């Protein structure tokens, strides 16, 4: 009986220094392993980003289970703050340390190991499609989007997809993500007239306009939540003047907001709301205000049903917990996959992701592999 060690594979991946957008050897390692296991492996590289697509079974099979994940990681920060080598994959007292241990080389290792064991031991009547990107932690312009473009060109189609991001806030098995809020960032530039602070009537101060606009946005309640989503939020993340002088009214200042919005809104509707407030403040103050907007992703949900039930049953069987179906948290690459097929997310406890001394219990990696293996077995048995 095959038994690919997911914890050892996680350690091998951690030793690949794949800080976005560097491939670091991680996808080469996975490609070789999957090829040996009988998967048809191809690359969907674009720009400076490396991406992998691996399929076992018939292309276009009506029963194709997809896994998605990433091997790129965030920078380590201050190397001296780490108690271990960030890319050393040290194990201490049953805990595996290293950048990407939680987010999300362990998730990738667990679903690859589960898939390899299944096709070697009990080849299913169907197909498995594994997609791994090197651009999830970065701009995400040439990662999973490039993979989906490649799949469209090659006639590859997932029936359903599970993204292996860390989803559990406290205990293994306590949460499945069935959607995500949308994310939007807006940058504002305010232009007035510089002058002496003793003669404010000779200047046009942009700072009160900035304060007014930011207060209007931050104090506004966009909604009180919807059936599957928490209330939308507006966060003022920076307000800058760059003015070191106390006797000068600056000519220009800037501010930025980040908005996480639920399915009561779209990126377009939120932008229209912001533009209305901008126009209001311009009329009231005479200060010119320019706005630039980037929508990182629209809100989406995979309604509770067959896919979430499949994952939840496996989680409960392996952990004894009934997972909450949630749409909380930030964005993930599921926002791209949702237009391709039904998608949910399930993975490890994410408490240490992006932190110094990022780590994961080795036992948790084995448990995650067991959950993924049960999901695959149950999916193809149905």
- Domain containing residue 207: CATH number: 3.30.70.360
In this predicted structure, the answer to whether residue 283 has a pLDDT above a threshold of 70 is yes
Which residues are designated catalytic?
72, 136
pLDDT band at 8 (very low <50, low <70, confident <90, very high): very high
Q: What angle do CA 283, 287, 292 make, to 5 degrees?
A: 95
Q: Mean pLDDT throughout 226-241?
A: 96
pTM: 0.91
pLDDT given at position 382: 85
Query: Strand, coil or helix: what is 273?
Result: helix
- What is the end-to-end Cα distance of the chain in Å, rounded? 23
Q: What is the DSSP string of 33-64?
A: HHHHTT-EEEE--BTTB-EEEEEES-TT-SSE
pLDDT given at position 49: 96
Last residue of a domain, one of 297, 325, 349: 297
What pLDDT, in 10s, does the model give residues 41-56?
Answer: 999 999 999 999 999 9
In this predicted structure, the answer to whether residue 1 has a pLDDT above a threshold of 80 is no
251's CB contacts (< 8 A; 6+ apart) are 191, 192, 193, 194, 206
What CATH number is given to the structural domain containing 90? Answer: 3.40.630.10
Q: Mean pLDDT throughout 339-355?
A: 96
In this predicted structure, the answer to whether residue 2 has a pLDDT above a threshold of 80 is no
Q: Note whether residue 1 is domain-resident.
A: no
Residue 94: how many other CB atoms lie within 10 Å: 10
To the nearest whole percent, how much of the chain has pLDDT over 70? 100
Residue 103 sits at φ, ψ, to 5 deg, of: -120, 95
In this predicted structure, the answer to whether residue 310 has a pLDDT above a threshold of 80 is yes
pLDDT given at position 329: 86
Residues 230, 147 share a domain: no
Last residue of a domain, one of 244, 263, 297: 297
Residues 267, 344 share a domain: no
- Tell which wins on pLDDT, 303 or 329: 303
In this predicted structure, the answer to whether residue 321 has a pLDDT above a threshold of 80 is yes
In this predicted structure, the answer to whether residue 291 has a pLDDT above a threshold of 70 is yes
Residues 155, 48 share a domain: yes
Q: What is the rounded CA–CA span in Å between residue 302 and residue 312? A: 14
What pLDDT, in 10s, does the model give residues 115-132?
Answer: 999 999 999 999 999 999
Last residue of a domain, one of 260, 279, 297: 297
Q: Note whether residue 83 is domain-resident.
A: yes
Residues 265, 308 share a domain: no
Residues 246, 134 share a domain: no
Residues 318, 284 share a domain: no
Tell me if 34 sits within 8 A of 119, measured CB to CB: no
Query: Strand, coil or helix: what is 291?
Result: strand
Q: What is the rounded CA–CA span in Å between residue 126 and residue 115? A: 12
Tell me if 162 sits within 8 A of 67, measured CB to CB: yes
Residues 186, 155 share a domain: no
Residues 265, 333 share a domain: no
Q: Note whether residue 332 is domain-resident.
A: yes
Q: Note whether residue 369 is domain-resident.
A: yes
Residues 68, 58 share a domain: yes
Residues 152, 219 share a domain: no
How far is residue 196 CA from its own chain's centroid? 47
Q: Note whether residue 230 is domain-resident.
A: yes
Tell me if 66 sits within 8 A of 131, measured CB to CB: yes
Residues 135, 26 share a domain: yes
What pLDDT, in 10s, does the model give residues 180-221?
Answer: 999 999 999 999 999 999 999 999 999 999 999 999 999 999
Task: Determine the structural domain holding residue 156 and report its residue range.
Answer: 6-180+299-381
Residues 112, 43 share a domain: yes
What pLDDT, in 10s, does the model give residues 133-148?
Answer: 999 999 999 999 999 9
Burial of 382 (0-12, 13-18, 19+ CB in 10 A): exposed
What is the tally of structural domains in the chain?
Answer: 2
């Amino acid at each position: 009986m095959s038994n690919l060690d997911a914890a050892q594979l996680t350690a091998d991946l951690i030793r690949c220094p794949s800080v976005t957008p560097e491939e670091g050897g991680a996808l080469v390692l996975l490609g070789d392993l999957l090829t040996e296991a009988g998967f048809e492996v191809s690359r969907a590289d674009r720009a400076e980003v490396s991406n992998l697509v691996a399929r076992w079974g018939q292309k276009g099979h009506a029963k194709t289970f997809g896994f998605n994940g990433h091997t790129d990681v965030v920078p380590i920060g201050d190397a001296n703050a780490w108690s271990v080598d960030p890319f050393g994959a040290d194990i201490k007292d049953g805990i595996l340390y290293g950048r990407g241990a939680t987010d999300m080389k362990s998730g990738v290792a667990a679903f690859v190991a589960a898939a390899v064991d299944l096709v070697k031991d009990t080849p299913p009547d169907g197909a498995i499609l594994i997609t791994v990107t090197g651009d999830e932690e970065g701009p995400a312009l040439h990662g999973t989007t490039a993979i989906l473009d490649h799949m469209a060109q090659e006639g590859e189609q997932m029936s359903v997809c599970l993204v292996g991001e860390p989803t559990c806030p406290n205990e293994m098995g306590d949460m499945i993500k069935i959607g995500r809020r949308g994310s939007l960032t807006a940058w504002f530039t305010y232009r007035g007239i510089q002058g002496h602070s003793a003669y404010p009537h000779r200047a046009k101060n942009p700072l009160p306009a900035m304060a007014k606009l930011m207060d209007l946005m931050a104090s506004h309640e966009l909604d009180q939540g919807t059936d599957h989503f928490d209330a939308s939020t507006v966060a003022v993340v920076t307000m800058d003047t760059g003015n070191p002088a106390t006797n000068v009214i600056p000519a220009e200042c800037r501010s930025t907001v980040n908005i996480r919005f639920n399915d009561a809104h779209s990126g377009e509707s939120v932008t229209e709301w912001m533009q209305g407030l901008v126009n209001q403040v311009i009329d009231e103050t005479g200060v010119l205000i320019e706005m630039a907007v980037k929508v990182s992703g629209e809100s989406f949900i995979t309604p509770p049903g067959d896919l979430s039930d499949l994952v939840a049953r496996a989680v409960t069987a392996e952990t004894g917990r009934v997972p909450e179906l949630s749409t909380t948290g930030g964005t993930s690459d599921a926002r791209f996959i949702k237009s391709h097929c039904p998608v949910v997310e399930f993975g490890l406890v994410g408490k240490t992701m992006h932190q110094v001394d990022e780590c994961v219990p080795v036992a948790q990696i084995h448990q995650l592999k067991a959950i993924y293996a049960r999901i695959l077995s149950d999916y193809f048995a149905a």
